[in-house]
Amino acid sequence: MGNLITLTTDFGWSDGFAGILHGVILNIAPHACVVDISHGVEPQNVMQAALLLADSVSYFPRASIHVSVVDPGVGSSRKALAVAVGETIFVAPDNGVASLAIAQLQSLTGSAPHAFELDNPAYWLPRVSTTFHGRDIFAPCAAHLANGIALHELGTPVESFVTLATLAPERRADGALAGQVQYIDRFGNLITNIQAEQLAAFSSTGLLVEINGHTLHGIRRAYAEVPPGQLLALVSSSWRLEIAVRNGNAASAVGGKVGDPVVVRESEEAMGR
């Protein structure tokens, strides 16, 4: 088992919640290396955390323990889980927050996930609150895993767990591809659910991208290919269609928000009309 533990939460940084997770882990596993992926997930936004973690896990060592706590059901009957995929372990509530990353690693490694409910209180903190299982259950269990405790010591195998569905883009009768904005980053870049490979079906120069009444021509290689302030479409660092403004904020420029429709189609010219 690796000693690298990552954290992805909606706890923010200001209240000390994230720092306390570090403390709990280092108290149990002094040699763990704790890395914050993000504590800036929008409060209770399970899907945002799930997408973010799925885009991150392949860049970490396989033998990592990924703790992901966006947990609006804390204190209810929702299960606390640890899920192994090959050498990697995910520690998270059973609300799908780790499910996209689990699917991502399953597809990369070919390993099927094995899930356990974290129901052995011997590996929790002695006093468990009803509002902060990140501190009282998830972080301590991750720390014990980093210490080499076997997964099955932490609890009971479970047959299934909650898996989030991401919307795939639809191919329309006229050949256009209808997707949507899936994520908006710090720069205001609009990341869609359209995969880079799906763009190959279109002519590289005749392709049009439509969002909120704006039409962009072609896929650019880099932000610097257009003048500052101009909208462009390109392939994001997560290998999806991205709409950006060079040195600017595309979300502001087009009034973009998660869920907004994005259409890719051939121009009339490219279709020979």
Chain contacts with a copy of itself (rule: CB under 8 A): 4, 6, 8, 11-20, 22-24, 26-27, 30, 33-41, 43-44, 52-53, 55-56, 59-61, 64, 72-76, 78, 129-132, 135-136, 185-187, 221-225, 234-237, 239, 242, 246-247, 249
Pick between residue 16 and residue 157 the one whose CB is nearest to a copy of itself: 16
In sequence order, which ranges of the chain are alpha helices (DSSP H)?
17-28, 46-56, 99-109, 133, 139-146, 250-254
In whole angstroms, the minimum distance from the beta carbon of 212 to a copy of itself comes to 21
Residue with tokens 């909650």: 162
Half-sphere exposure in the Cβ direction for 215 (13 Å, CA): 7
Helix (H, G, I), strand (E, B) or coil at 86: coil
CB-wise, 8 or 180, nearer to a copy of itself?
8
Cβ nearer to a copy of itself, comparing 197 with 268? 197
Name residues whose C-beta falls within 8 Å of residue 227's C-beta, 6 or more positions apart in sequence: 246
Nearest approach in angstroms of CB 204 to a copy of itself is 14
Q: Which is nearer to a copy of itself, 2 or 176 (CB)?
A: 2
Is 185 strand, coil or helix?
A: coil
Helix 17-28 × helix 139-146 angle, to 10° = 30
Residue with Cβ nearer a copy of itself (173 or 222): 222
- Shortest distance in whole angstroms from residue 41 CB to a copy of itself: 7
CB of 124 to a copy of itself, least distance (A): 13
CB proximity list for 235: less than 8 A, separation 6 or greater: 196, 199, 219, 241, 242
Element housing 264 (H / E): strand 261-266
Taking the C-alpha atoms of residue 87 and residue 62, their distance in angstroms, rounded to an integer, is 6
> Which one, 176 or 230, has the nearer CB to a copy of itself?
230
Minimum distance from residue 172 beta carbon to a copy of itself (Å)? 28
Q: How far is the CB of 133 from a copy of itself (least distance, A)?
A: 9
